[in-house]
Chain A
Amino acid sequence: MNVLLAVLWKDLVSEWRTGDRIVSMLLFSVLVVIVFHFALPADASQLLQTGAAGLLWIAYVFASVLGLNRAFALELENEALSGLALAPADRGWIFLGKAAANTLLLFLVQAVTALAFALAFDVRLGAVALRFAVLMALGALGLSSVGTLFAAVAVRTRYREVMLPLLLLPVMIPILLGAVRASSALLERGALPSPELRLLVVVDVAFLIVSFVLFEYVLDE
């Protein structure tokens, strides 16, 4: 537990000092929103009302891939990852610390992006903000759990940054589906639909447990 907090603290302090990930993730997400504006037809308001959730989560998924790649690229400097591997700590806690840091950072980016999106496309998020925050958190947690596991793997392969989306995208579809549908329903009806919510919770728990256990094997040489 101590180790979890230590790793979380370390990641957040590093991030605070360098702003490495957060800046690139934020810029990227906002750019995506702008790209959407140009990519969609001139009178896209109808499309947006129904498709807003999907577009937003696309932006989230790609921002998370960006952040996850950076998270482990930083660990490769000075072979810090080996430094973690040397510790007598249970590696599952190291995993949780990193996943927690990734989740928090992603959540921050999600919130800002949602704001940008709402502004740019006049989507009413205000009324459902809190509930949307719950969805963002659940999605961020799911993405960050398998994401952290896969990033630790991907960053030590020959095609580092490209490997992660290849590994992650097919696997995170349940999260995407649940989150997008729940978000759509939320925007339409103002209420969180329970089947989608249940799916998200189940997937999150399953992915967290599996990643926690498997991370042990990822740090070995």
Chain B
Amino acid sequence: MTDTVKETSNSGTGVACRTASMTAKVAGFFSIVFLGLLVANFIGTSVIGLRRENQLTEMKIQLQAEGGSEEKLAEIRELDVQIRHDRLWRLAFARKSSFALLGSVVLFVIAGKLASVLGQQPPRPQHAPDVGAEQIGEARRSRWGVTAGMVVLAATMGAGIYFGGPPDFAQAKETGPSYASMEEKREQWHRFRGPGGGGISVFANIPMQWDGETGQGILWKTPVPLLGHNSPVVWKERIFLSGATEAKREVYCFDATSGKLLWTGDVPTTPAVAEAEMDVMEDTGYSASTLATDGRRVYAIFVTGDIAAFDFNGRRLWHKNLGIPDSAYGYASSLETYQDRVIIQYDQGDGTEGKSRLYALDGRSGQVVWQTPREEVPNSWTSPIIVDVEGKPQLITVTDPWTLGYNPEDGKEIWRAESVTGDVAPSPIYAGGLIMAVEPYSQMVAVRPTGQGDVTETHIAWRMEEGAPDICCPVGNDKYVYLLDGSGLLLCCDVTNGEIVYEHDLRDNFMASPSIAAGKLFLLSEEGVMYIAEVGPEYKEVGKCELGERCHASPAFVDGRIYIRGTEHLYCIGQATSEAAK
């Protein structure tokens, strides 16, 4: 081809060169047009498509909120069809345009190359300059060029070294264990009725005088957004509660000193729950179960079977649904924590379907660490407790008809005793070396937790069959155990043999479970009146404080403070600064 170029460089190629050049220009123009089309298509997909999708989402939300008519549904469906059709059309268009673009670019390139080859001039070297000087000069300029590049690179690297990197996770070496120890838990109120579920506080500086009307003795009170019968859970400077309606489930965190609502965590549910339209007893409500914390995370479960974990800053770590519980009065068992796990007593059904289970979920991820099926156990409303038996932790549950002791490490059953029957709601306690199980309206059974296997014949210490409460849990120390029933009858029994020491009718209604703190008995009535009495062989009232609001939840006792949840507010009873240094 080059020979022909040399020979015909002046005559015919003028025309050929011009044609090629013109073709190149035309092809170039078309390439730009196709490129423009592709760009427009791309913008269309991202901008218009996005706008339409947002519109569709809004319309769907509107549909949920306001209900639908035939026109609205038709509108939504039409928009959806438009979006889908658009997407497929745009894909096809993009494909076709890119082929067209390729074609025109190829044509442009061929024509351009032809034009440049045909229009090539023979080389005309200029008068040779001082080649030596030129080469030296070139080398010198190149060296400077490379040096300049090196300086730029060095400056960049220097800046990088000087400004250091992002925060170094290597500093996070000693973060400590991922859960609070049993000792730490003893000084907080980390679950329903405090550590061990016994309603007993280790602190002696508990306030005993306050008045709801004047506000005397009350540090703060904060409204709780949604109703729930669960009791406050306290960890150092934070108080946790949950509240729920049929549509929403929320977890609240309050600041212990100011009472401010620090954060609200939302717990989502499943479509199955939304469809099921659960009917729940008003006395139980949608969030009857009290929360639990392991010192790093707080866990909450609701009547729908939704459970969630939050860190103390309000970040939801995980959430699950364990399946809608088949519970006659609504699921109300509270949670317990063991090390970095959350323990759930999930009793449901009538005892013949084998639906009941005991779960331990990993606190950080929500994965099931172990689960133990509980055959023959029907629905119950008691909560599990973890107590120290002969130096080893044991997980105790009470249902109809078994009281069971498990190893919380692996969920394996250690012992069982046939004890109480019926709809069991009061949770067990551990007092005087005995597990107390209560059968509503009937009896209290004391079991020694030191056995193995079926210990019905051997380890039941005594039964007190003079009647028992239907809701409130018992409270006791190593001398006495107290039972409070819903209509106000207080029974004091001897812990060693179950014999009744005294009976006293308070003539008030009670839903909150009794507690013992600073050597006194604290009994919170439904009207919000706290009866404070001596712990002893006879009833001696030492105080009566009115809150001025109805109360269903049990109070929490920590260093120098009492936290009471009324039906509308959370109250903090105490002084601004606690006496013991924290």
Q: Do A and B bind each other?
A: no
Binding site for B on A (CB under 8 A): none
Instruction: Give the A-binding residues of B (Cβ under 8 A).
Output: none
